[in-house]
Amino acid sequence: MSLAAFQALLPFAGWSNDRLQEVEFVGDLDPKLPTSFKITETASAALAAVGLAVSDLWELRTGKRQSLSIDTGHATASLRSTKYLRLDGAKVNTERNTVMGMYPTRDGRWSYLHCNFPNHRAAAMKVLNVPEERHAVAEAVAQWDALDLEEAIIAAGGAGGMVRSAAEWAEHPQGRAVASLPLMEIVKIGESAPETLPDGERPLSNLRVLDLTRVLAGPTCARTLAEQGADVMKVSAPHVPFIPYQEFDTGHGKLSTHLDLRDEKELGTLLDLARECDVFSQGYRPESLANRGLSPAKLAKLRPGIICVSMCAFGHTGPWASRRGFDTAVQVVSGIAARQGELFPEQGTGPQFYPVSAIDYLTGYLMAFGTMVALRKRADEGGSWLVRLSLAQVGRWLQQQGELTLSDIADAPPEFDQAELEQWMMSSDTPMGHLTHLAPVIQFSETPARWARPSVPLGHSDPVWPPR
């Protein structure tokens, strides 16, 4: 199987083209679901890169390689894994807030309001000066020009954006900034002696990962590392908004603790954890944690040899470098939502989202891939390393793969066959109940992917690393 998307990933690991021969793909590529964007190819490529990086670390431990296989349907389903959650046999509610969505504006454009989190919803309602009711919001949005509303909501601390075409995004200052960046960066940020992998029976056994990320992309990275045996500590705080079903989905394999970084004592506890970790993963806007002394440069001094993983919405350069954003917001501003709406007008009026959260999950997989490449570099040559990417850069990678034609996607089903889905599912007993969810996608010949811990509620664990 030829995966053009995989070619873009080779240079980051220093691999040759023949590495793809080590991966068996089961099933066809796109279309698996109704979208013109090549979500199956990109998911299969990203997961193949993850699998090969795992194989490299296993070889580093044991001198042995292992074969791997990827079911392309399972890979695609993993891009909307929240959809398949069941708790005690009942479907987990994953519906978005009722006022979240697209609205026509006064100037004939469309505006997207991101309202899943209460703080972002409150910001939008304050700007529009209406109650939280969809009809009232629609009437208020219709009194605004789309660009003015975009800027007003961002200034108020909200999230969303004006719907743009791909051509408009290419000419936008932030679109040009994203285009100037590589898909991701893996750069050395400090000197330290080479570190062998700690003893253990799995590829990432006894490696410690601090997960200071939220929503889907960053947490997916840490969940992917946990699949291979890493000890992952999720760090949140009681005051930080969250969506429960997302934590069910991305919490597999993790410990979870509460630390309020506004409190000096609790910040000190986090620094103590960082001194003993291997990977520090964060998904806040670039300056947010730096202001608390948690920049990659300072972490590299605190713990020489650390792997810092930094993900943001729109990239670390350009006028939107500090702007909050999500998969949906990137779809809206970059032309994906406009294109999806053009191709499927019968699904509703105006721009639409594709039927998965591709940018989120792809970003998470690429973060995990970059982390493992950096761990290999640390073992070979030493040093502290920074893995850096953004949702917008990954969205651009997805768009660069081109699109399917209308005739290609005419018969794409809205859902997988139930028998297929059942093959990809597993169950875990959690403190919340019996959780049914997608199993890990990548199948390994020597070290089966698995989560040693079930999902737990946020704050469930003490801020203490398990012994090695």
Work out whether strand 208-212 and strand 160-162 pair parallel, antiparallel, or are unpaired: unpaired
Q: Residue 182: which domain range?
A: 22-468
CA–CA distance, 392 with 69 (Å, rounded to integer) = 29
87 pairs with which residues across the strands? Answer: 90, 435
Quick one: pLDDT at residue 90?
93
How far is the C-alpha of 272 from the C-alpha of 222, rounded, in Å? Answer: 19
- Give the relative orientation of helices 39-62 and 358-381 as an angle to the nearest 10 degrees: 20
Single pTM value for the model: 0.96
- Non-local (6+) Cβ contacts of 304 within 8 A are 190, 191, 192, 384
The pLDDT assigned to 98 comes to: 87
What CATH number did the domain enclosing 314 receive? 3.40.50.10540
Beta bridge partners of 212: 282
Is 280 within the bounds of a domain? yes
Rounded Cα distance, 376 and 365, in Å: 17
Tally of CB atoms within 10 A around 168: 15
Question: Is residue 3 assigned to a domain?
Answer: no
- Report the DSSP beta bridge partners of residue 37: 403
The domain total for the chain is 1
Structural domain includes residue 163: yes
| Domain-located, residue 33 | yes
Contacts of 87 (CB under 8 A, 6+ apart): 248, 432, 433, 434, 435, 436
Contact at 8 Å (CB) between 164 and 172? yes
- Greatest alpha-carbon pair distance for the chain in Å reads 66
**Over the chain (468 residues), what is each successive 10-residue block's mean pLDDT?**
88 93 93 95 97 97 94 97 94 86 95 90 92 93 97 93 97 97 97 95 97 92 97 92 83 95 92 96 74 86 96 94 91 96 79 95 98 98 97 97 92 92 96 96 96 94 94
Paired tokens of 165: 């075409």
- What residues pair up with 311 in beta bridges, in sequence order? 389
Residue 5 lies in a domain: no
End-to-end CA gap in the chain: 40
Residue 69's SS3 state is strand
Q: 438: which strand partners?
A: 425
In a domain, residue 95? The reply is yes
13 located within any domain? no
Q: Is residue 15 assigned to a domain?
A: no
